[in-house]
Amino acid sequence: MSDLNKTCDDLLARLTRGESRVPGVVAMVTDRERNIYSGAAGERRLDGEPMSDDTVFAIMSTTKAITGTTALQCVEEGLLDLDAPAKEYAPAIGAIKVIEGFDSAGKPLLRAPKSDVTTRQLMLHTGGFAYDFFDETYLRLATEHGQPSVVTGLRAAIETPMVFDPGERWQYGTNIDWVGQVVEGIRGKRLGEVMRERVFDPLGMKDIAFTRTPAMKARTATIHARGDDGSLTPMDDFALPDNPEVDMGGHGLYGTVGEYMKFIRMWLNDGAGPNGEVLRADTVDWAVKGALVPPQKVTMLPGVIPSLSNDAEFFPGLGKDWSHTFMVNTEKAPTGRPAGAIGWAGLANSFYWIDRENGVGGYWATQILPFGDPQSFTGYLDFETAVYDSLNGQ
């Protein structure tokens, strides 16, 4: 394991130097019991405080799996039927229409969906919702009709039309924000409260929340913009809001990498945490399995707002499925990640994976836009590869 430490330390040091550097990175690896690697390099903000393992990040879409966990708990308790209309739990979703385009005056053409969207469809990203940075129709709603961005934390940001009928295909979008609304409707509490009571406290996760404490705020890394020339500019005025109107289950959490590792360990340990069971083992077993119905499949994410995302895809050319609520690679990845492992990413270039077969998982956190940053994404893949090389004695 000393070789892994040296390899990863060298990787982090190399990535945080030179003209095409990342500003700062925190990376950790865990087995079923404890972290087996923890490293930090670079700075929270260019020319600012050094990055450290207790740095707080906007973890963006790596929030999704935690929201999914709270929904699975509702299923276990018999409070949520995944195949019932989601409007039974979150009435506002019942008013959502499907957009079929725009008329000659640029007005959206809306109609009722052919069927009610279900929570299962929302968890699988087949519910019909999109993101403006990955979808041209949503981008037009934003630019021409004032549709607010999801990063505002406003309720209006998720009350958007569907771009297709529920169940028609896989498309990444605000589906999991709606899962959060389903959970709130069932529990009668804000999503953050539910997470604290049912996930964070049982797992001993403290520095993670939709609204940062003053101490967390003081340790928060700045998001940086990558220019076309490779330069980095701190985005001092860009941050997810504290005290948001809606606890955005799709992307709204702030947290440290160390806290997320506790969540990863729960999945490696069949739902068990240090302070009791978070999920039943049988729930974990089915929740990590790909559940898309062919020809549905996970596709490349097209970067329609270049400042927010490049075209991005994990393991191009290899099969990818979606579970409740992770990406599942259906073939062995070039990094060594086995078929059936799960994981995902966050918009500001954070990435994680959970390999239940080998009992390892990891998280790589940077704060850079656009998503799919060549330096950070390549660094992450090298990091994951180093873990598997170490496991295989290479």
Nearest-angstrom CA–CA distance, 263 and 66: 8
Q: Can you give the pLDDT at residue 394? A: 75
Q: Is 105 exposed, middle or buried (0-12, 13-18, 19+ CB in 10 A)?
A: exposed
- Rg over alpha carbons for the chain, rounded to the nearest Å, is 20
What's the distance, Cα to Cα, between the start and end of the chain in Å? 11
Q: Which residue, among 276, 70, 326, 62, has the nearest Cα to 191 in the 3D structure?
A: 70
pLDDT per position as a tens digit, 86-112:
999 999 999 999 999 999 999 999 999
pLDDT per position as a tens digit, 154-207:
999 999 999 999 999 999 999 999 999 999 999 999 999 999 999 999 999 999
Q: Can you give the pLDDT at residue 1? A: 57
Provide the whole-model pTM.
0.98
Q: Can you give the pLDDT at residue 353? A: 98
Q: Can you give the pLDDT at residue 255? A: 98
Q: What secondary structure does DSSP assign to 212-246, as a single string?
A: --HHHHHTBPPPEEEPTTS-EEE-TT--PPSS-SS
Q: Can you give the pLDDT at residue 308? A: 97
Range 61-95 burial, b when 16+ CB lie within 10 A, else e: bbbbbbbbbbbbbbbeeeebebeebbbbbbeebee
Q: What secondary structure does DSSP assign to 277-341, as a single string?
A: ESS-HHHHHHHTS--PPTT-----B--SSTTTB--B-SSTTS-EEE-SSSEEESS--TTSPPTT-
- For residue 361, how far is the Cα from the chain centroid? 15
Q: How many CB atoms lie within 10 A of CB 156?
A: 12
Residue whose token pair is 């490349």: 300
Q: Can you give the pLDDT at residue 393? A: 86
Q: Which residue, among 300, 327, 309, has the nearest Cα to 139 in the 3D structure?
A: 309
Query: How many domains are contained in the chain?
Result: 1
Residue whose token pair is 């001092």: 236
Q: Note the residue count of the chain.
A: 394
Phi-psi sector, 243: left (phi>0), alpha (psi -120 to 50), beta:
left
Q: Can you give the pLDDT at residue 19? A: 84
Q: Can you give the pLDDT at residue 257? A: 99
Nearest-angstrom CA–CA distance, 339 and 320: 9
What CATH number is attached to the domain comprising 213?
A: 3.40.710.10
Tokens of 167: 């169940």
Nearest-angstrom CA–CA distance, 110 and 94: 14
Domain that holds residue 323: 2-391
Q: Can you give the pLDDT at residue 2? A: 67
- The answer to whether the beta carbons of residues 38 and 52 sit under 8 Å apart is no
Q: Which residue, among 322, 377, 153, has the nearest Cα to 251 in the 3D structure?
A: 153
The list of the chain residues with pLDDT below 70 reads 1-2
Q: Is the dihedral of CA 231, 237, 242, 248 positive or negative?
A: negative
Point out the residues that are catalytic.
61, 64, 172
Q: Is the dihedral of CA 64, 69, 75, 80 positive or negative?
A: negative
Q: Can you give the pLDDT at residue 205? A: 98
313 Cβ contact list (under 8 Å, min separation 6): 299, 300, 301
